[in-house]
Structure formats: structure tokens, C-alpha cells
Amino acid sequence: MTAPATIADRIDIAGLELEVLRRGAGRPILLLHGFQNPDPGARFLELLARRARIIAPSHPGFGRSPRPDGFETVYDLVRLYLALLESLPDEKVTLMGFSFGGWLAAEIAVACAHRLDRLILVDALGVKFGDRESADILDVFNTHPKEVQRRFWHDVPRFAPDYDALSDEALVSLARNWEALCLYGWHPYMYNPQLKRWLGRIAVPSLVLWGASDGIVSPDYGRAYAALIPGARFALIDAAGHAPEIEQPEMFVDHVLGFLET
């Protein structure tokens, strides 16, 4: 592993010192990560940073962000990021959430429309559409890791992590992220049964992006999600799975900039 292009910064919020990645200049985008904390070397960050100012914290328990005792629910995370929004000097911020972080972004957008100018959800979790015997979201903890990788990526050989090649530090981080994700998302599995009812309250222009090959949570789920957010646009990104920002960074950033600049 090469050294990260930018050493991660810290941000103090609600008594917590979070690891945060800051990039670029211009309109602020608060980026809430999914299963993994942001990779400083990710190409989409570099592209996006040419046009926007990115603030990308690692959730408590992920990456190098500490998780204090008793901080263990999505409720805590939502309150934390509401506090972070309040603390930013910008009157309005664009909120972008990926996967698990998309769930957080949807909760925050319902609760705090006045600090947001736009909402972007990318392969977001957080709601339940299917009947009681149909799980919308793949159970990543009770499924064979190879199957999880196969359903996560469009191009598995190219993008699935090779644990033998990763540094000790990267593996420790993966294990921390896995543990934290399990803590926050175990029950009910990756959704809030009440959230669907409130998505209609989201009052900012919204874009819902989805990897066309996402096998963790399907594009149809994404369409249904978008349909509950007034005026939301939905767009598929071809040749991408659950993380289109990683597999198709150029196309992903084109979609985002197209949305932000209209």
C-alpha cells in the first residue's frame, strides 16, 4: 500500500474527535460513507474535489474515529451529524450518503431540511419495502464472504479486496469497520421501520444514484426509495455494483455535477 495522498484530519463534534477527510474548494458537500470509511486515494474524491469542498468524516468506530462507550445506534449517528451540520459555517450544505451512510443521510434530510441545499443518495439503505418474508438488503453478516463480494461488485476480480495484499493497518481498519457496521446495523437489519413514513418530508432537490449491478440492494429498491422523496431523480450507473463511486468514478461524478449544477 502506498501512503495516503492526504493525511486524514480531525474534526471535533459533540465531544467526539472524528477522523475527517477534507478535499477541494467551493460548495460544501458532507459525505457520509458506507461499509468502509473513505479511501483517501479514491478517484471520485479527486474528481469531485475539483468542483466542491468535501468533508468526509469516518463514523465513530470506523477507520480511526473513536467510538465512545454507549454510542451504538443509528440514533446516535444521526444526532452526531445533525450537530456537525449545525457547526459548519456554511448556511447550506449538500449531503451525500453512500449505502449505510445513505440511510443516515435520509434520516438527516427528514430531520433538518433547513441546513441542506441538495441530497444525494447512492445505493442507500435504511427503508423496508418487501413483505415480511422478503429481505430487501443482503445479510452481509450471515452470507458467505465470497457471495457478499460477488454481489457487492460488478467487477469482482478488479475491485474485491485481496486480504493477503493489504497492509496490517488496512486490515485492522476493515475489521473495525465490520464490527461497527454490525453494531449499528444488526437489528432491525439495516433499516428503520419508521423512516419510510417520513421520506415525504424531504424538501430539497434530491438525486438517487444506483449501481445497475448492485446485488446488496437492488435498483428496484432504489427506484422505490426515490419515488418516496418528492421530486427526486433516479439514475442508474452501468457496470457498477453497490459502490458506483469506486467502480465508475467518472460517470458517478458526471451525474453528481450534472445534478448540482442544474
Task: Beginning with the edge strand found earlier in the chain, give each strand of the sheet holding 16-23 in spatial order.
Answer: 9-13, 16-23, 52-57, 27-32, 93-98, 116-122, 206-211, 233-237
The amino acid that residue 24 corresponds to is G
229 binds other proteins (CB under 8 A): no
Q: Judged by CB under 8 A, which of 176, 226, 245, 248 binds other proteins? A: 176
- Smallest Cα–Cα separation from 249: which of 219, 220, 209? 209
In the region spanning residues 98 to 127, those forming contacts with other proteins, defined by CB under 8 A, are: none
Q: Interacting stretch for other proteins, rule CB under 8 A, among 99-107, 160-168, 210-218, 245-253?
A: 160-168
231 binds other proteins (CB under 8 A): no
The amino acid that residue 183 corresponds to is L
Helix/strand/coil for 19 = strand
Closer CB to other proteins, 60 or 244, in the complex? 60
186 binds other proteins (CB under 8 A): yes
d(Cα 79, Cα 106) in Å, to the nearest integer?
13
The C-alpha cell at 29 is 458537500
**Min dist. Cβ of residue 204 to other proteins (A):** 34
Q: Interacting stretch for other proteins, rule CB under 8 A, among 15-23, 120-128, 180-188, 221-229?
A: 180-188
**Min dist. Cβ of residue 192 to other proteins (A):** 16
78 binds other proteins (CB under 8 A): no
**Min dist. Cβ of residue 45 to other proteins (A):** 24
**Min dist. Cβ of residue 146 to other proteins (A):** 9
182 binds other proteins (CB under 8 A): yes
The amino acid that residue 149 corresponds to is Q
**Min dist. Cβ of residue 169 to other proteins (A):** 9
d(Cα 128, Cα 247) in Å, to the nearest integer?
26
Q: Judged by CB under 8 A, which of 83, 156, 172, 227 binds other proteins? A: 172
144 binds other proteins (CB under 8 A): yes
239 binds other proteins (CB under 8 A): no
In the region spanning residues 123 to 142, those forming contacts with other proteins, defined by CB under 8 A, are: 141-142
Q: State the Rg of the chain over Cα.
A: 17
145 binds other proteins (CB under 8 A): yes
Residues 6+ apart with CB under 8 A from 164: none
Cis check for the bond before 188: say yes or no (omega within 30 of 0): yes
d(Cα 191, Cα 194) in Å, to the nearest integer?
9
DSSP 71: -
Closer CB to other proteins, 26 or 68, in the complex? 68
d(Cα 95, Cα 85) in Å, to the nearest integer?
10
Q: Which residues bind other proteins (CB under 8 A)?
A: 70, 72, 141-145, 148, 163-164, 166, 168, 171-176, 178-179, 181-183, 186-187
